[in-house]
Structure 1
Amino acid sequence: MMVLNALFPVIAIICAGIALQKTHFLDAAFFRSSDRLVYFVLFPVLLFWKIGAAPLDPTQDTHYLAAIGCAVLAVFIVSLFFVRMAGVEAFKVGSFSQSCYRFNTYIGMAVVINLFDEKGVQLFGILVGLVIPFINVLSVSVLIWFSGKEQNVMDKLLGTIKSLLVNPLIIGCLCGLAYARLVGGFPSYISNTLQLLASTTLPLALLSIGGSLTFRGLQGNFWLAMAGACFKLVLLPLFGLFFLAIFGVSGLPWQVSLLYLSLPTSTAIYVLSSQLHSDTDLASAAIVVSTCCAFATMSIAIYWITI
């Protein structure tokens, strides 16, 4: 029942987004606008509110952050060996590589809020804020390396650094951490205001995920997309469990980490693939396959957490 309670609302809203897009009740312009609103305003507010809501516990085990970082790096390295051994076209490598380790922040936060208390949400928010820059560096490095275009590489690197410095999700996390460290907790009138703003975030984000899902790219890309899903949803959790054990992570950080490891790949891989000249059809296929398969892995993770 806990699995159903945690996942059904997420599945229902994503399916609603698909239905609204297919019936043309909402168009692409709406989803683009809602994506911008969520990404630049609402989700950073949600992260700031959830992370800053309680004082940071100085005794809290942070080894889960190192364990997740090691797992992501391990999958990144193995995925590069795979593309070499499998002879994946250079044009497709950037999109494939991203699909192996990027994660969907919105689905993750929606499930975390359904499962955990404020402390669990805070731990997930800290994880998001620290892992996003690391993953972006890995993603952009591969995209540039396999782009076949040596010109403007420095401009792309500088652009990546700039995008990380002004990334609204990272800023929201860092501000929340600073507030939690210095103050912790909000007056009721501030908390109520932030809660009202944040309450619109995840429904809009999940609707947009549904509205952006397209099966157009599956033809000719299904098996490579499935391989990426196996890296993301099978190999990454295995590496993650290994490193969590190595670092001795237990309790709530272990539970939050397990849920993180079960998440589908991020819809952002399509945008980055488009910007840096990789295969957007493969990116689209990888998003669809990973999202569909991840409800099985998330169900297993939630069941494991709650037994």
Structure 2
Amino acid sequence: MIVLNALFPAFFLIFLGVALKRAGITNQTYLQQSDQLIYYIFFPVMLFWKIGGASFGGIDWTFCLVTLLILAVLFVVSTVVIHAVPISHFQAGSFSQSCYRFNTYIGVAVILNCLGAEGVALFGIMISLAIPLINIFAVSTLIYHSPKESSSGNRARQFGRALAANPLILGCIAGILYSKIFGEFPVFIDNSLSLASMFTLPMALLSIGGSLSFNGIQKNLKTSLLASGLKLVLMPLLGYGAYKLAGVDGLAFKVGMIFFCLPVSTTIYVLSSQMNSDTELASSAIVVSTILSFFSLSVALLI
């Protein structure tokens, strides 16, 4: 029942988002505005609230460093695969991101359902370290494989500035600082943040569903399955072994295994579009990994 209780609510809302978009109840304009509200306001507020009010000990640096190491290994593996298969320059950036970038919203939804606020707090700390590293991997690959005539340097500088002001990272850092300095929220602030955060995950999951594009799946199915295999099979296996060797257990082990089994983030489409990579492959990888992640997350929850 733990699998059904943790995963069904998240995937129900994702596929409800697909249905609402197909029925014309939501549209692209609504989804874009919803994404902006979630990304820049409500999700950072929720992370700040969950982390700032959580009663957890010091940061588990072994857990964090091992997790970052596995992400680095997957980046190296994806680079080797790009040259071994081979995958074209146009597809390389999208493929690379599909092998290690993760969907934060689904992660928080699943962890909140099965591990509670303390699990979300630990997840938030970990992603605040993982997001900068992943974006460095993604942008470096996109720049390396971009057309020579494109202004890769300008794009990299713009993206670097955006990364420094990433609202999810800022929300996590603010939560950590608040937790260390104050430890808990006054009731009226706690109630206000709770109310503001209440619809964050439903909105985010509906938006994910509405953003899923099934165009180009047949054309890119093999490449998408290869990327999903690396993301949802190889990464969890490597992570499991690394955690066991490093002695990571308890809540950190559970959070880490869920993290490794998450589907690809929809943001790979945006970054691929901005830096001249294959958006059809990005869309296909998002859909395929989202569907297959039900099985990988089920295994993670049962371990």
Query: Per the shorter chain, which TM-score range?
Result: over 0.9
Q: Give distance in 2, aligned partners of 1:216 and 1:63.
A: 41
Q: CA deviation at 1:249?
A: 0.6
Q: In the alignment, is the contact (CA less than 8 A) between 1:3 and 1:302 conserved in 2?
A: yes
The answer on 1:48 being equivalent to 2:39 is no
Q: Give distance in 2, aligned partners of 1:217 and 1:196.
A: 40
Q: Give distance in 2, aligned partners of 1:55 and 1:4.
A: 27
Once the two structures are overlaid, the 10-residue window that deviates more, 44-53 or 240-249, is 240-249
Report Cα offsets for 1:90-140 as digits up to 9, x if no partner.
000000000000000000000011011322111011011110111001001
Indicate the residue corresponding to 1:81 in structure 2. 80
Moved over 6 A (4+): none
Indicate the residue corresponding to 2:192 in structure 1. 193
* 1:27 aligned partner, one-letter code: N
Indicate the residue corresponding to 2:267 in structure 1. 268
* 2:245 aligned partner, one-letter code: I
Q: Give distance in 2, aligned partners of 1:74 and 1:150.
A: 31
| Gap runs ≥5 in structure 2 | none
Q: Give distance in 2, aligned partners of 1:41 and 1:283.
A: 26
Aligned length: 303
Report Cα offsets for 1:165-211 as digits up to 9, x if no partner.
11100110110111111111101110110011111100000000110
Once the two structures are overlaid, the 10-residue window that deviates more, 205-214 or 141-150, is 141-150
Q: Give distance in 1, aligned partners of 2:140 and 2:234.
A: 21
Q: Give distance in 1, aligned partners of 2:173 and 2:9.
A: 29
Q: Give distance in 1, aligned partners of 2:236 and 2:265.
A: 16
Task: After TM superposition, list the pairs within 5 Å mapping 1:153-302 onto structure 2.
Answer: 153-302=152-301
Indicate the residue corresponding to 2:15 in structure 1. 15
Indicate the residue corresponding to 1:36 in structure 2. 36
Are residues 281 and 151 of structure 1, via their aligned partners in 2, closer, same or farther at CA, if it must alter by over 3 Å?
closer
Q: CA deviation at 1:56?
A: 4.6
Q: Give distance in 2, aligned partners of 1:54 and 1:279.
A: 41
Q: Give distance in 2, aligned partners of 1:230 and 1:38.
A: 29
Percent identical among aligned pairs is 45
| Gap runs ≥5 in structure 1 | none
* 2:61 aligned partner, one-letter code: T
Q: Give distance in 2, aligned partners of 1:165 and 1:25.
A: 36
Q: Give distance in 2, aligned partners of 1:158 and 1:26.
A: 34
Q: CA deviation at 1:219?
A: 2.6
Q: CA deviation at 1:157?
A: 2.3
Q: Give distance in 1, aligned partners of 2:212 and 2:153.
A: 33
Q: Give distance in 2, aligned partners of 1:191 and 1:241.
A: 36
Indicate the residue corresponding to 1:24 in structure 2. 24
**What is the TM-score when the length of structure 2 is the normalising length?**
0.97
Q: Give distance in 1, aligned partners of 2:62 and 2:197.
A: 29
